Chains A and B, each alone.
Chain A
């Protein structure tokens, strides 16, 4: 079964510092991995995805993610955090087959960026 895990419930970082939000995955077959962000009382916004190819994926709002096959990780990163980056971040894996088609989400990590 496909799954992702986000080991940290919350990450705190000072504005201007680099940030990392961790995600590990367990998949059979090729991993199709995604990061989404959710602001309070809002839907999910797509940030980036890994399908194949370069292990460093660049996405929206200056975010990037590094795919590491040996460590089965797909950590989200940003070189310089902004207060406006404070939100709930979900890592997800696409489970797609004959009888299924869904995004399986991690439990989410709340990012708090302090001024």
Chain B
């Protein structure tokens, strides 16, 4: 199994809503990532979890709250988002933080904030 599975595929939420994005991998990878991608732009890193601990937060606003319940799961909790937060949110995993390993990406969640 070389897949990273993200749910939901699409999400529309209001600015006062609370929602969560989910990501799952069963490759035994110990590093998991959240990226944000705006249209026609490259992905930008948001968070990194290493061995289930948050290791990097790229100065992301607190309305985005990551969680790693176990080594296979990664969540992104959303609250009080703004329309400019609309984007494709990508989850990725890699075996570890070794620089010679590639990351595997999920298909993403297309988020629209109204």
Contact = CB atoms under 8 A, between A and B. Distances in A.
Interface residues of A, number: 25
Interface stretch (A11-19, A61-69, A78-86, A105-113): A105-113
Contact of B43 (A42, A44, A49, A99): A44
A106 B97 CA distance: 21
Contacts of A107: 41-42
A105 B100 contact: no
B99 A102 contact: no
B45 interface: yes
B31 to A, nearest CB: 7
Interface in A22-36: 30, 32, 34, 36
B103 A46 contact: yes
A101 B92 CA distance: 12
A102 B100 contact: no
Interface stretch (B13-21, B68-76, B106-114): B106-114
A96 B98 contact: yes
Contact of B50 (A34, A36, A101): A101
A34 B56 CA distance: 21
Interface string B35-72: 00000111101001010000110100000000000000
Closest 9 CB pairs between A and B? A105-B42, A96-B99, A43-B105, A102-B45, A44-B105, A51-B100, A43-B107, A94-B99, A32-B99
Given A41-B88, A101-B50, A108-B41, 5 more contacts: A101-B97, A102-B33, A105-B42, A107-B41, A108-B40
